[in-house]
Amino acid sequence: MAVVSGVLSVGEANATLRDIQRRSGNSRWFVVFVAVAPLVGGMGLAVLLTRLFRRPDGEQWLPEPFAILIGLALGWAIYLFGMRRFMLWRFRRRFTARGIPLDLPMQIELGLDELIYSVGETTLHAKWTCVLEIFPSRGYWIATAQASTVFVPKRFFPDAAGERAFIAEALSRMSDTARGRSPEAVRFASWE
């Protein structure tokens, strides 16, 4: 059996994210372009329209600063409702082309000594001593275990009571310090 070991400093591999994004089909510059282009385009379109379409007396309908703000809002809406969906579609298409299934079985187990997170054929074991916090975000419970993130979809729970019991059990296994960093989870579980 081959084994390698050493010490990894938290954050040291962040520089590799650019290469990971590129290999998944989304270079850093493409992502920046997708975020900025709608904003710049919206501003430019709004200013152009205020200059082209004038009132009968020759004055602009809107002063340019207001047009720029409206254009920014329009660009932001295009980004939120169009470009983010486009990026997700593109990401999924590239993974499908590589033969990676888009739907993977997932299981989160609260063991006595560890949190066990399984997605597809990958399993993460995190000792409770390294679980730093748990918090809700956009339909998920997120647990931070050192430099790893565990996503627990809220839709997996049969009802609010089951969700509350799961979070309460997770909190009961975490350290006092970790519970202190998890005020939303503590309130949700009515942890006293």
Domain housing 25: 14-97
Per the domain annotation, does 9 fall within a domain?
no
Whether residue 141 is found in the same domain as residue 92 = no
Model pLDDT, residue 74: 84
pTM of the model: 0.67
Question: Does residue 125 carry a pLDDT above 90?
Answer: yes
Considering only 95-99, 116-120, 124-128, 183-187, which range has the smallest mean pLDDT?
Answer: 95-99
Alpha helix positions (H), the chain: 17-23, 28-52, 64-78, 84-97, 160-173, 176-180, 183-189
Please state the rounded mean pLDDT for residues 48-68: 76
C-alpha 171/C-alpha 110 separation (Å) is 10
What are the contacts of 166-174 at 24+ separation with CB within 8 A? 166/110, 167/134, 167/141, 169/110, 170/110, 170/115, 170/131, 170/134, 170/143, 171/134, 173/110, 173/112, 173/115, 173/128, 173/131, 174/128, 174/131, 174/134
C-alpha 150/C-alpha 79 separation (Å) is 27
pLDDT-derived band at 3, boundaries 50, 70, 90: low
pLDDT tens-digit series, residues 14-47: 666 666 666 666 677 777 787 888 888 888 888 8
∠ Cα 55 59 61 (to 5°): 60
pLDDT tens-digit series, residues 131-184: 999 999 988 999 999 888 888 899 999 999 999 999 999 999 999 999 999 999
Higher pLDDT, 20 or 123: 123
Higher pLDDT, 183 or 65: 183
> In b/e form, how buried is each residue of 56-66, taking b as 16+ CB within 10 angstroms?
eeeebebeeee
Question: Does residue 1 carry a pLDDT above 80?
Answer: no
Taking a C-beta distance cutoff of 8 angstroms, is the pair 147, 16 a contact?
no
Provide CB contacts within 8 A for 60, sequence distance 6+. 50, 51, 54, 67
Per the domain annotation, does 153 fall within a domain?
yes
Per the domain annotation, does 3 fall within a domain?
no
Whether residue 166 is found in the same domain as residue 111 = yes
Whether residue 157 is found in the same domain as residue 175 = yes
Whether residue 86 is found in the same domain as residue 139 = no
Model pLDDT, residue 56: 73
Per the domain annotation, does 114 fall within a domain?
yes
Question: Does residue 9 carry a pLDDT above 90?
Answer: no
Please state the rounded mean pLDDT for residues 100-118: 90
Q: How many domains does the chain have?
A: 2
